[in-house]
Amino acid sequence: MADTETESVKTDSQTGEDLGGLVSELSIEHLRTLIEQTSNAIEVLKAEVDMLEKVVKRIEPKDLAPQPTTDLKMSSAESREQTRARRRSRSRSTTERLNNLTAEQKCTIAQQELEEMKQDIEKLHQNSERTLRHLKATMDEAEIRWAEIKKSSYEFERDIGKAMVQKKTPVTAEKLMRYLDEKTRSRDMLADKLRLKNTALKVQKKKLMLQMKQKEEMGEVLHEVDFQQLKIENTQFLDRIDERNQDLLQLKLTAGNTLQILCFYKEKLQNMTLGSNCLAKEISLRQEMLQKIEGETELVEEERAKAECLNKKLQKQLSDYRVPDVFEYVNKKIDHGDLEKSVKVWERKVEIAEMSIKTYRKAWEQMKTANTQLQPFVKFQVGQSNPEAK
């Protein structure tokens, strides 16, 4: 073994000395050209090696799989044998020649790689077209959504934003909730329409797929004329779709106008209902006050009648009066004073009752006048609420 190692070292030293002599003999320009030639050859060989690796991986992928290493740490003896084997391979590389591929083999490999590259390019082209279609669809969707957002923001500013800024018509929570409910209802209706359209398109797609399968089974293949006819039909259908879209836009505009008119009449009706509720409350309050006044007047009249009866009795007693004894006189005088006091009290009560009756009568007359003044206003409001009846 030692002899072989010494021989390999000697051969390496000899080849190095020979190369050093040749390099020293050559000029710098010649060396530059040689370096460029060798670099070009190396690049060509690298390209060939990459191509061969691809072909080998495609043909035999299992053979090129990395085998699992069991021993992670190698012994010192094995490492020495490997170093010796490398030295032997270096010594043999100078003597042995590599087996090169023929021109026909290279041509076949190049054709295979060319076909693979064409297939990869076609796949990339298909993927790029798919991504372009997807991006175009997303852009269209974004434009549609942007238009919807603009429209909804314009409607919101028109219906609620201006009213909130001007503060002429106060925006209530009910109005805002009604506006939002209408918007959600319209969105739900649109979603239902699109869902129905999607189901119809799915059914149509299934029908077309079945027709395609039947045609493939029957052997009916489409030709260029059929494709041209389909293109013409597609353009016609696109024109019809544009017309329908224009009609739909016109209908949307009319629907928007009708919604505005409906909102105006709804606000008017709401104001009228509020006014009628207020008037009904006032009428009920005044009727209650009238009932109370009538009850109080009846009580006062009863008290007045009782007081008159007592007064008559007392007057009769005074007219039929006879002079009593001294003690009786004194007692009667005392009773008379008490009675006079009670009469004054009752007269005062009668005066108070008459004053209260006067105040109630004044209030009743004021209510009557207010009611007569409110009647033409109520008639005017009722006439405005139903102009068709007129």
Does residue 109 have a pLDDT over 80?
no
Q: What is the pLDDT of residues 124-157, one digit of tens each?
A: 988 998 899 899 988 988 898 898 888 888 887 7
Does residue 2 have a pLDDT over 50?
no
Q: Is residue 308 part of a domain?
A: yes
Q: What is the pLDDT of residues 17-61, one digit of tens each?
A: 555 556 566 677 878 888 888 888 888 888 778 877 877 776 755
Q: Is residue 29 part of a domain?
A: yes
Winning range, highest mean pLDDT, from 78-82, 154-158, 162-166, 340-344: 340-344
Q: Is residue 240 part of a domain?
A: no
* Domain termination site, one of 161, 187, 215: 215
Q: How many Å separate Cα 283 from the centre of its chain?
A: 49
Looking at the structure, do residues 7 and 90 belong to the same domain, yes or no? yes
Which is more confidently placed, 25 or 116? Answer: 116
% of the chain at pLDDT higher than 90: 12
Looking at the structure, do residues 9 and 89 belong to the same domain, yes or no? yes
Q: Is residue 141 part of a domain?
A: no
| CB proximity list for 353: less than 8 A, separation 6 or greater | 300, 303, 304
Element (H, E) at 26: none
Q: Is residue 167 part of a domain?
A: no
Amino acid, single-letter form, for residue 375: Q
Provide the pLDDT for residue 317.
Answer: 81
Provide the pLDDT for residue 178.
Answer: 80
Q: Are 245 and 358 in contact, with CB atoms under 8 Å apart?
A: no
Q: Is residue 278 part of a domain?
A: no
| CB proximity list for 175: less than 8 A, separation 6 or greater | 160
Confidence of residue 360 (pLDDT cuts 50, 70, 90): confident
Q: How many CB atoms lie within 10 A of CB 263?
A: 15
Please give the mean pLDDT across all residues of the chain.
77
Element (H, E) at 309: helix 224-319
Least confident of 75-89, 164-178, 212-226, 372-386: 75-89
Q: Is residue 241 part of a domain?
A: no
Q: Is residue 111 part of a domain?
A: no
Residue 37's domain spans which residues?
1-65+84-94
* Domain termination site, one of 188, 215, 242: 215
| Residue with token string 């009773």 | 335
Instruction: For the chain, report the end-to-end CA distance as a whole number of angstroms.
Output: 129
Amino acid, single-letter form, for residue 11: T
Confidence of residue 289 (pLDDT cuts 50, 70, 90): very high
* Domain termination site, one of 76, 94, 112: 94
Confidence of residue 196 (pLDDT cuts 50, 70, 90): very high
Element (H, E) at 160: none
Provide the pLDDT for residue 203.
Answer: 92
Domain count across the chain: 3
* Range 141-151 burial, b when 16+ CB lie within 10 A, else e: eeeeeeeeeee
